[in-house]
Amino acid sequence: MPQATGVTTGTTGQGKPPGRAGWLLLTPLIVWAVAFVVAPALIMLVYSFASRGALGDVVYDFTLENYKGVGDPVYLQIVIKSALYAALTTVICLLAGYPVAYLIGRADERWRNLLLMAVMVPFWTSFLIRTYAWLTILKSEGLLNSLLIQLRLIAEPLEMLYTPGAVVLGLVYTFLPFMILPIYTSVEKLEGALIEAALDLGAGPLRAFSRVIVPLTSPGIAAGVLLVFVPALGIYAVNDILGGGRVDMIGNIIENQFKSARNWPFGAALGTTLLMSFAAIYFYVNRRQRAAIVK
């Protein structure tokens, strides 16, 4: 399928290295990446081998204790739970986001921009404010309960706020656009003729979808899955606000080490481990992606 490979090489930008002008244009990006990505990661790496002083200061002696602590069942159970929450969020986002992205991608130009706008508009408001707004909707004397009682669908207010369900709702709400946008980009590039060809050659709609449309939009799906799963694993504000602090995720544990527990080295070890896992997931997804295309 030459078209398919054409799409991917176009997006991953394989080719000759940038010339002098290219490097010049890249400088801001490189400076930014070194200052805000590489340097902090290195500081974390150094901290993660240090130990905690009496006042919670960082004492620079080489130790592996922090990494031993990461493997402790107490923290492992939370890592597993966070991964489950993040995976559930990703699946729901994919199921809900794919049809939306497909519709937007196949809509005619006038509608497309309007629909895209609708996906982006929530970003105009601060993420925290949007999350607090859910509090007003879900609380027991809140908008949703009042509405349902008014409509006589329920007699007693439902318990919605401060539940695991509220956390998943908040996570899906937060990350859905990150699933829709990359899939949309793939769908937009999709050649209509290929689908018609599949249908002409005897594939039913289901088969055309699973054998043609999904493989051709898989770069978008992969990007969407990464963009949702990775941040959902590390987030801590949504579960604090909508989960009432009951659902501790790995992000909360790390936050706690830097704040109330004052154990920066341990927090750094947890953070470094998480970063390494993200890198591993990224390479895994990327390799599968390539393998799928070669096939």
Partner 1 sequence: MSRFASLVLAALVGFAVPAAAEELSLFAWSEYIPQSVLDGFTKETGIEINYETYASNEEMLAKLVSGAASYDLIQPSEYTVEALVKANRLVKLDHAKLPNLKNIGKEYWGQPHDPKLEYSIPYMQGTVGIVINTEKVKEPVTGYNDFFQPKYKGRLVILDDALEIVTWALSSIGLDANSVTKENLEKVRPVIAKWLPLVKVYDSDSPKTALLNGDVDLGMVWSGEAAILIQEAPKKFRYVLPKEGAHMFIDNLAIPKGAENVPAAHKFMDYIMRPTVSVEISKEFPYTNPNVEARKLLTPAERANEASYPPGNPKLETFRDIGPIAADVDKLITDLKAKSGA
Applying CB under 8 A, the residues found at the interface with partner 1 are: 52-58, 72, 74-75, 77-78, 81, 139-142, 159, 161-164, 243-248, 253, 256, 258-264, 266
d(CA 44, CA 264): 9
Nearer to partner 1, 66 or 186 (CB): 66
Q: How far is the CB of 25 from partner 1 (least distance, A)?
A: 31
Nearer to partner 1, 72 or 109 (CB): 72
DSSP 8-state code for residue 15: S
Q: 52, 59 in Cβ contact below 8 A?
A: yes
Sign, Cα dihedral of 15, 17, 21, 26: positive
Nearer to partner 1, 204 or 245 (CB): 245
Q: 263, 52 in Cβ contact below 8 A?
A: yes
Q: How far is the CB of 73 from partner 1 (least distance, A)?
A: 8
Q: How far is the CB of 93 from partner 1 (least distance, A)?
A: 21
Nearer to partner 1, 14 or 150 (CB): 150
Distances (CA, A) of 212 to 27, 105, 198, 290: 40, 16, 7, 16
Q: 218, 226 in Cβ contact below 8 A?
A: no
Q: What is the DSSP track for 63-127?
A: -SHHHHHHTSHHHHHHHHHHHHHHHHHHHHHHHHHHHHHHHHHHS-HHHHHHHHHHHHGGGGS-H
Nearer to partner 1, 182 or 271 (CB): 271
Nearer to partner 1, 209 or 258 (CB): 258
Residue 29: strand, helix, or coil: helix
Nearer to partner 1, 130 or 139 (CB): 139
d(CA 139, CA 155): 16
**By C-alpha distance, which of 172, 258, 181 is closest to 220?**
181
Q: How far is the CB of 80 from partner 1 (least distance, A)?
A: 10
Q: How far is the CB of 74 from partner 1 (least distance, A)?
A: 4
Query: Which phi and psi (to 5°) does residue 30 adopt?
Result: -65, -45
Q: How far is the CB of 77 from partner 1 (least distance, A)?
A: 5
Q: How far is the CB of 57 from partner 1 (least distance, A)?
A: 4
Nearer to partner 1, 235 or 253 (CB): 253
Q: How far is the CB of 225 from partner 1 (least distance, A)?
A: 25
